[in-house]
Structure 1
Amino acid sequence: MEILMTVSKFASICTMGANASALEKEIGPEQFPVNEHYFGLVNFGNTCYCNSVLQALYFCRPFREKVLAYKSQPRKKENLLTCLADLFHSIATQKKKVGVIPPKKFITRLRKENELFDNYMQQDAHEFLNYLLNTIADILQEERKQEKQNGRLRNGDMDTEDNNSTPDPTWVHEIFQGTLTNETRCLTCETISSKDEDFLDLSVDVEQNTSITHCLRGFSNTETLCSEYKYYCEECRSKQEAHKRMKVKKLPMILALHLKRFKYMDQLHRYTKLSYRVVFPLELRLFNTSGDATNPDRMYDLVAVVVHCGRK
């Protein structure tokens, strides 16, 4: 299943509270997918940035299934992932289809682990998403490392693992990670150099009255390197004018997009929110991929959008 998730700068989301049963009756039980639950999360003081991202992630089915599978494993020391697994399990096992749940345990753990979120101020939903995914990946990699070390100790082997070796990818990487290729073409000798880098989400610029498709097209626009920004060409052994562009080399299973809605205004000496209208489709096919891209015709279905309503 391929899914598109679009993430804005901040986040807010409506929750279903006292009128949940009335809402369910009005919509009709036949409209709800089998075994699916729609629960709002209690706001503990400007925690909408967290609640909305958690709800978006809950409806990324591959991610949810991995988190629930982690819940079923032998009990581990409490961390952010165990708290997330408890929350997802609580939602998934509710008898009612709709309602509201307080994610108190998760919020408490989040504030304990990262002082950036240990307050009642609005926070950046994109920063929270990145922090959560990277923290989960770190937890999984550390647990895997500990399991390998314990296995070697039981077998009487010495610990010969190279501490500088690259950690194996986790299911977070399997779900969200894609690969970009940065291509630079020297305009003198036409030599093309490329460098790959992995990503968990793509940050794209927005303009007035634009669309996700247009934003992605702009993401891969060709940039000319000239004047003081000339490119040092290894073939020419000197600085030359060059064309530079970014392409997607490997598509992720779930594509997370971050709309860069804050722009620094020189005349104001501060960042200003760009409340531009951005049209997004229910289906999306990436066209700006490299020739090496896997599954270039992959179609993404929109599953969640996180949008902050407000000027800050």
Structure 2
Amino acid sequence: MSAFHVKVKWGKEMYPDIELDTGEPPMVFKAQLFALTGVQPHRQKIMLRGATIKDETWDGIKMKDGVTILMMGSKEEDVPVEPTEKTSFIEDMTEAERNTMLQLPVGIKNLGNTCYLNAVIQCLKTVPELHSAIKEYKPKQPESSSLLTLAVDSASLLTLAIQDCYKTMNSGKTAVPLILVNLFRTTFPKFAEQGEQGKFLQQDASECWTELMRLLMQEITAKDPEKTAQNFRTSLIDQFFSGEFSCEWKCVESEEEEVTKSTDNFQQLLCHISQDVKYLHTGLVARIQEQITKKSAILDRDAVYTKKSKISRLPAYLTVEMVRFFYKEKEAVNAKILKDVKFPIVLDIFELCTEELQKRLLPNREKYKDMEEREIEEERALKRGKPGDVIKKPKTRSMPFSFEDDLGSNNSGFYQLQAVLTHQGRSSSSGHYVSWIRLKGKEWLKCDDDEVTSVTEEEILKLSGGGDWHCAYILLYGPRILEVVEEGEETEVETKIGEET
């Protein structure tokens, strides 16, 4: 027997009926207590009959139903103390210390073939709406007060673990995701595969991305759902990551069968890599029309259909998967396509949209021309000037990127790359995964687990494949923000060349 119902005493509080499973690591139990009390797992000390329960194992602990477990720990942060270390100079700091001092994003510790999970977590953190929602997340309260004492479900616990991970990173500390990894493997057992020596195996980052998005769709509620299109009000993931295809089906083998229409939702666009695909846009366009075999009601047998798909709803954040892996039966592995496929920093998806959506996008698209002309003129001014020279720019404001009646949509068809998840190696279940995230402007960061370094935009464009270097696997595009000049505002912003421009 591994499942027990126990009592937990914390200060003056008593939780009379908590479910505890000794088949899972104690860190999972600590996550349950975190969900109920708000005490961070690393601040918890859990004792049973004088023995302290460890994080990794229940060894030496005799559990039984109805036993009272004592939890010690507070929700308050540690009181700051006067530093005892001597003053550190930036040139003497480690890379991690410099990142903290300069308030750069920090990384996540690899706990043994967990780079696939780390990379996904880093990429998703770049979406402000999702990051904010996870920070404010609270598990759904049971309808009956008596149910409060039951174990919080694994989806809620895992979301709280992501919240804890982000909280640690936001404080400038490297995250050590013990609870997150344990809960992820418990919730999704296929990611808990072990090799002959008991070592956890590498996993596919794309599958990890898909599972986490499904889980967050269940846990993170929509933001102002009444302002969103009817079919995308279920969750924040639906609002900001889901698009819609309008599809037409034509039977190739029967002229009598009429064209039928359908709609499909999507959270990713796929770029299949063939010999002819050299650019991302080519791969996406190729998916507009495809041949599919299905049952024909008129012919009463399977027949070939031409399916034409156009986008009728664009999400604010567009995820694109480069389909780089295919299954090799002989070796029983997902082999990798190393072909070089160029992807842009700014992506225009207008051509893939229905005529109706294109008409809605056009008014907003016209406004981007003025912004592009201003950006070109500013680039010229920077090239003409010298360090210390002052250039003047008009004061601007950011415009909404969604349609007024559909919060979380994209109202222009223009996207800007904000994160890239890459793979280095020859199969999805081996090698190494890394995330590359936009910091600001043309400044990017390479997040290689807990090692975070600055890189240029040119280095990002070199992730297109063609060899054993990191190849782009998942591209995350965010809305390209439209900046317009303030009407009636004569004030100009003065900036010295060499400073923030």
What TM-score comes out, normalization by structure 2 length? Answer: 0.45
1:189-213 residue CA offsets vs partner (Å, 9 max, x unmatched): 5843111111222232113562221
Question: Residue in 1 aligned with 2:95?
Answer: 19
Contact 1:186 1:242 in 2 (8 A): yes
Do the aligned partners of residues 72 and 21 (structure 1) sit closer, same or farther apart at CA in structure 2, a change above 3 Å counting? farther
2:416 to 298, 301, 310: 301
Q: State how far apart, in whole Å, the 1-side matches of 2:219 and 2:330 are.
A: 44
Do the aligned partners of residues 88 and 268 (structure 1) sit closer, same or farther apart at CA in structure 2, a change above 3 Å counting? closer
In the alignment, structure 1 residue 90 sits paired with structure 2 residue 164: no
Question: Residue in 2 aligned with 1:48?
Answer: 115
Question: Residue in 1 aligned with 2:272?
Answer: 205
Question: Residue in 1 aligned with 2:216?
Answer: 136
**Which segment drifts farther, 264-273 or 274-283?**
264-273
1:289 to 340, 353, 366: 353
Q: CA deviation at 1:24?
A: 7.2
1:117 to 179, 187, 191: 191
1:252-281 residue CA offsets vs partner (Å, 9 max, x unmatched): 121111111112457877642101212111
Q: State how far apart, in whole Å, the 2-side matches of 1:277 and 1:219 are.
A: 19
Do the aligned partners of residues 62 and 191 (structure 1) sit closer, same or farther apart at CA in structure 2, a change above 3 Å counting? same
Q: CA deviation at 1:23?
A: 5.8
Contact 1:80 1:136 in 2 (8 A): no
Greater Cα radius of gyration, structure 1 or 2: 2
1:119-154 residue CA offsets vs partner (Å, 9 max, x unmatched): 41111111111111111222357xxxxxxxxxxxxx
1:209-237 residue CA offsets vs partner (Å, 9 max, x unmatched): 622211111111x3356xxx587376x99
Q: State how far apart, in whole Å, the 1-side matches of 2:137 and 2:331 are.
A: 48
Q: State how far apart, in whole Å, the 1-side matches of 2:191 and 2:294 are.
A: 41
Question: Residue in 2 aligned with 1:261?
Answer: 324
Contact 1:186 1:231 in 2 (8 A): no
Q: State how far apart, in whole Å, the 2-side matches of 1:18 and 1:246 are.
A: 51
Question: Residue in 2 aligned with 1:62?
Answer: 129
What TM-score comes out, normalization by structure 1 length? Answer: 0.69
Amino acid at match of 1:210: K
Contact 1:57 1:64 in 2 (8 A): yes
In the alignment, structure 1 residue 177 sits paired with structure 2 residue 242: yes
Q: CA deviation at 1:244?
A: 2.1
Question: Residue in 2 aligned with 1:152?
Answer: none
2:206 to 116, 126, 141: 126
Question: Residue in 2 aligned with 1:218?
Answer: 286
Contact 2:291 2:305 in 1 (8 A): yes
Question: Residue in 1 aligned with 2:438?
Answer: none
Q: CA deviation at 1:42?
A: 0.3
Counting aligned pairs with the same residue, the percent is: 22
Contact 1:37 1:91 in 2 (8 A): no
Question: Residue in 2 aligned with 1:103?
Answer: 177
Q: State how far apart, in whole Å, the 2-side matches of 1:268 and 1:117 are.
A: 21
Gaps of 5+ in 2: 1-92, 143-147, 194-199, 222-230, 362-410, 428-501
1:89-115 residue CA offsets vs partner (Å, 9 max, x unmatched): 2222x1x4xx52212221121122121
Q: CA deviation at 1:302?
A: 0.5
Relative contact order (alpha carbons < 8 A, sep ≥ 6): 1 or 2 greater? Answer: 1
**Which segment drifts farther, 117-126 or 204-213?**
204-213
Number of aligned residue pairs: 254
Equivalent position SS for 2:354: strand
Q: CA deviation at 1:243?
A: 3.0
Do the aligned partners of residues 245 and 65 (structure 1) sit closer, same or farther apart at CA in structure 2, a change above 3 Å counting? same
